[in-house]
Every structure is written in structure tokens, then in C-alpha cells.
Amino acid sequence: MRDLDIRRALWSRMTALHADEPGTKVVDELELCQGRARVDVAVINGLLHGYEIKSERDSLSRLESQMHIYNRSLDRVSIATSENHLKKVLSAVPQWWGVWLATGDEAIRLDCQREATENPSIDPLAQAQLLWREEALQVLAEKRLDVGMKSKPRVELWLRIAREFPASEVGLAVREVLKRRDGWRAAELPT
């Protein structure tokens, strides 16, 4: 069982689950914290739910550093893993993370072992960093906070969003922008 096998099963499950929800976007390889990590699949709707994949061929060596970034950036996180990693994953990830077991060879089956709940400690700056520069300017302009910001580097735009907006509004603004964004690096499941 490979990463791509689990990814296809996850995409199929997520697109079916959210088929009747206009405005829900499912994307591959969402970059977090200025590209320090990428979550394998992200579902963007009223929440930003990231799904990490650890197939039986994968190592868990990067999981700790990935957890740190995911915990700062995502409203919910789930990990889809194989039987050989399940026990270690269950003990390693925070209790609010969801855990899915991937089984099978030809047709991958995903069984929920633990439901994801909401992240108790999102970092508004990490969420603001999901915005491209022009998107950050647009978010600031909607609140009339863009005066004197048009020539500033994107990091200053992100800092202003994180400082000036309540944390819940940062997440809401970022999700709305991401749902409308065109030009994703990887917009659909690779074949």
C-alpha cells in the first residue's frame, strides 16, 4: 500500500462526503508556515481540515515536526495510516487529531479509529501565512486596514492580520479566500 493508494481513497471519500456542499474545496499538498510543511490533503469549508498520510512504506521520522506545524495552522487534523503504524500514531498524535486506518490492497478501505475535534490552540499568524500577498492585502482592505500597507512585504501584512483581527476572524477570512483561490499548485488528485 502506497501513499498514492491512500490518497486516492481519501480523495474519493472526501469528495463524496462533501459533494452537496457548495463552497467546499479539496486540495492536494497545502503548504503551511511558508512551505515548512505540506499537509497531504486539505478540506476547506467551515473549517480547514488537514489529512496527513502515512502508508506502510512511509517512515514516521518527520511526524513530530509535521505535528508542530499542523497544530499551529489547521482547525482539525486527521492522519490516515496503515496497520503497521497505527499503534505508534495513536500514541504520538494529540488527542484532538482524528486517526483513520487504511486497509486493503486493491481497494483501500478507510476506517475511522478516532474522530478529529477542533484544534485548541491555533496560531493566527500561521493561518494568515496561508494567504498570498495580494490576498492578504484584500483581507486588510475589506476591514480598511490596508492604509500604508500596499508596499509592505507579505510578512508585515500577515502580522497585521494576526494582530488586528480576532483569532476566529483570521480563520474565517483565510478559509473564504482559500475557497475562492484559483491557481493552486496541485488542484486535483494526480493520476
Q: What is the pLDDT of residue 23?
A: 86
Residue ranges covered by each domain of the chain: 3-114, 124-180
**What pLDDT, on a 0 to 100 scale, did the predictor assign at position 1?**
75
Q: Note the pLDDT of residue 185.
A: 55
For CA atoms 175, 181, 184, 186, the dihedral sign is: positive
Tell me the pLDDT of the chain (191 aa) as tens digits: 788 889 999 999 998 888 888 889 999 999 999 999 999 999 999 999 999 999 988 999 999 999 999 999 999 999 999 999 999 999 999 999 999 999 987 789 999 999 999 999 999 999 999 999 999 999 999 999 999 999 999 999 999 999 999 998 999 999 999 999 887 654 444 44
Q: What does the pLDDT read at residue 3?
A: 86
Q: How far apart are CA 112 and CA 3, in angstroms?
A: 18
CATH class, 3-114 region: alpha beta
Question: Would you list the DSSP string of 64-79?
Answer: HHHHHHHHHH-SEEEE
**H-type helices in 24-150, by residue range?**
63-73, 83-92, 124-128, 133-142
What does the chain come to in residues? 191
- pLDDT for residue 143: 94
In DSSP terms, 26 is beta-bridged to: 43
Q: What is the pTM of this model?
A: 0.90
